[in-house]
């Protein structure tokens, strides 16, 4: 049997190895990590009441410095898991705004009284309209907004120590550095 002919016999093996590598890579990909359509877009305009006193908040009230917009609700179990870490971040001076997504005001206020309030302010999005404009499809989600009010990153799911120090903190620091004059 000529050498070329013989090498051809390895073709199925090569195909198999290629396919196996391809599928193996797929195992470690997260299908829920959708790229946000709003990255590099300005934070959408809104005019919604604040949770604390009901006064109207707009886009310009909550932009101007690098900050996190955390979408949360009292019906969201993961938000409860995430809450203590948000509190830690807030204590370190990270500005966090809350978007209280499709929730009841009374329950939300009670939550903040019981568990602590890491938020600079909370935007009441009872109908989910701001959530819709942000492309929110669940909670918790956290948007990183830069000093010019542009959304730069979206994190889906809980923020904890591990995610923050490995992935999110570098992004936050970079945005901060950008904002320095």
Handedness of CA 114, 120, 125, 131 (dihedral sign): negative
How far CA 165 is from CA of 89, 108, 161, 170, in Å, comes to 11, 28, 6, 7
Q: Which stretch binds another protein (CB under 8 A): 3-11, 34-42, 109-117, 167-175?
A: 34-42
Between residues 127 and 179, which has the closer beta carbon with respect to another protein?
127
Residue 117 dihedral angles phi and psi, to the nearest 5°: -120, 100
Identify any residues that bridge with 72 across adjacent strands, giving them in sequence order. 100
Q: Which stretch binds another protein (CB under 8 A): 8-16, 49-57, 133-141, 166-174?
A: 133-141
Which of 94, 87, 104 is CA-nearest to residue 160?
87
Q: Can you tell me which of 59, 80, 102, 120 binds another protein, judged by CB under 8 A?
A: 102
Q: Which stretch binds another protein (CB under 8 A): 28-36, 55-63, 77-85, 161-169?
A: 28-36
Q: Is 26 in the site for another protein (CB under 8 A)?
A: no
Q: Can you give the binding site for another protein, defined by CB under 8 A?
A: 31-32, 34-38, 102, 128, 132-135, 137-138
């Amino acid at each position: 049997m000529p050498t070329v002919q013989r090498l051809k016999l390895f073709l199925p093996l090569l195909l198999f190895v290629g396919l196996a590598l391809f599928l193996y890579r797929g195992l470690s990909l997260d299908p829920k990590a959708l790229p946000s359509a709003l990255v590099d877009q300005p934070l959408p305009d809104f005019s919604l009441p604040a949770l604390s006193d009901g006064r109207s908040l707009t886009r310009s009230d909550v932009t101007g410095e690098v900050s996190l917009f955390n979408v949360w609700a009292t019906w969201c179990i993961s938000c409860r898991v995430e809450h203590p870490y948000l509190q830690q971040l807030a204590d370190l001076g990270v500005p966090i705004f809350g978007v209280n997504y499709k929730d009841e005001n009374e329950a939300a206020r009670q939550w903040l009284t019981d568990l602590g309030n890491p938020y600079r302010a909370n935007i009441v999005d009872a109908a989910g309209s701001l959530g819709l404009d942000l492309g929110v499809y669940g909670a918790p989600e956290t948007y990183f907004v830069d000093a010019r009010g542009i959304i730069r990153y979206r994190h889906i799911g809980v923020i904890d120590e591990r995610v923050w120090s490995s992935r999110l903190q570098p992004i936050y620091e970079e945005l901060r550095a950008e904002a320095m004059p």
